[in-house]
Copies of this chain bind each other. A is one copy, B any other.
Amino acid sequence: MDAPMSDVLAIGNAIVDVIAHADDAFLDRQQLVKGSMQLIEADRAEELYAAMPPAFETSGGSAANTAVGVAALGGTAGFIGKVRDDQLGAVYRHDMRASGVDFDTAAAPSSHAAPTGRSLILVTPDAQRTMNTNLGIAAEIGADDVSQGVVDAATFVYVEGYLWDKGPGEDAVVRAMELAAASPTTKFAFSLSDGFCVDRHRDDFLALLDRGIDVLFANEDEICSMFRTPSFDEAIDIVRGRCELAYLTCGAKGSVVVSASETHAIPAEPIEELVDTTGAGDLYAAGALYALCRGADLETSGRLGSLAAAEVIGHVGPRPAVSLRELADAAGLP
């Protein structure tokens, strides 16, 4: 059977977000670095969870959020990620499919010791999110989970840098990259994910860039960390030409789209209230990739990225709460 055509095939950690509001004092007591994503083991997850305020659960995961965003804009999207056959795994699969995303990666049996992954997310009053992720079975995604058919059928394969953190995830990425390179129509897009993640895997990420990332997504912090420079302008100069396109986001300052010959500064979309930054970068990527799939120019692709990001930071949770398609239509965007 042929794989369904998709605009974006996302590969990443399948993670259920466990979201609570907390104040800065809580972060201090728990020695958490605000704004970061840190990996935690199961024991620490239990301890931190026990100390956390009441929470709610919602499906997340960086690349998965991007896939949902593409589908919410009216595109076709697939996701490759690993859950276990447990209650949270069932919740996760439901949410992906109900969002219109193809998600067929086999679940690990319930007898597996590692459960479906969870990220304990503290949202502080300044709308920053601090993530503490116990990958669980998500870390077991591997090269075997990536098939040539689904890669060939995708316009973009989109991968999160977080996959480098543990387990055979990087094998899945390398296989996806090789398959995309061998396909005449599939491009390879990569997100640097997190500044600390870049610190952990800088050499690998630089090697990936040399090997052939077509579209790179990073925020200011991540791209500066990648090239070990404090200057965002310098980072722009360095990245230019090393990939076909780089989308570099700078929070409220907007974003910059960089190609070999073009540079477009895109303003951030105005929002009524900044509530929770979780998913901002993921939804920016969704908007940009979806627009590229529709043949939009670079500036338009950045604007759709900004629009999608603005929606998700206006409420708690990492995925769209209203129709992105209607928002885009109202803004005259693809």
Determine the distance from Cα of A52 to Cα of B56 in the docked complex, in whole angstroms. Answer: 18
A207 within 8 Å of B (CB atoms)? no
Given contacts A49-B94, A94-B49, are A54 and B99 in contact (CB under 8 A)?
A: yes
Most chain B CB within 10 A, of A50, A54, A87, A96, is at: A54
Determine the distance from Cα of A292 to Cα of B58 in the docked complex, in whole angstroms. Answer: 37
B residues near A54, Cβ cutoff 8 Å: 59, 68, 94-96, 98-99, 319
CB contact list, A1-44 vs B, under 8 A: 18, 20-21
- Asked whether, in the complex, the Cβ of B91 is within 8 Å of the Cβ of A57, the reply is yes
A53 within 8 Å of B (CB atoms)? yes
B residues near A56, Cβ cutoff 8 Å: 56-58, 317
A86 within 8 Å of B (CB atoms)? yes
Determine the distance from Cα of A115 to Cα of B68 in the docked complex, in whole angstroms. Answer: 29
Determine the distance from Cα of A138 to Cα of B239 in the docked complex, in whole angstroms. Answer: 57
Determine the distance from Cα of A318 to Cα of B301 in the docked complex, in whole angstroms. Answer: 39
A139 within 8 Å of B (CB atoms)? no
A208 within 8 Å of B (CB atoms)? no
Determine the distance from Cα of A50 to Cα of B96 in the docked complex, in whole angstroms. Answer: 11
- The quantity of this chain's copies bound in the complex is 2
A174 within 8 Å of B (CB atoms)? no
A308 within 8 Å of B (CB atoms)? no
A216 within 8 Å of B (CB atoms)? no
A238 within 8 Å of B (CB atoms)? no
Output the least CB separation between A40 and chain B (Å): 16
A309 within 8 Å of B (CB atoms)? no
A271 within 8 Å of B (CB atoms)? no
Most chain B CB within 10 A, of A56, A95, A96, is at: A56
A106 within 8 Å of B (CB atoms)? no
Output the least CB separation between A278 and chain B (Å): 13
Output the least CB separation between A250 and chain B (Å): 29
Determine the distance from Cα of A98 to Cα of B18 in the docked complex, in whole angstroms. Answer: 13
12 other A-B residue contacts (CB within 8 Å) besides A52-B94, A87-B116: A20-B98, A21-B321, A49-B94, A52-B98, A53-B98, A54-B94, A54-B99, A55-B94, A55-B95, A56-B57, A56-B58, A57-B57
Ordered nearest first, which 9 A-B pairs have the shortest CB separation?
A57-B57, A56-B58, A87-B87, A54-B95, A54-B98, A54-B99, A87-B88, A53-B98, A56-B56
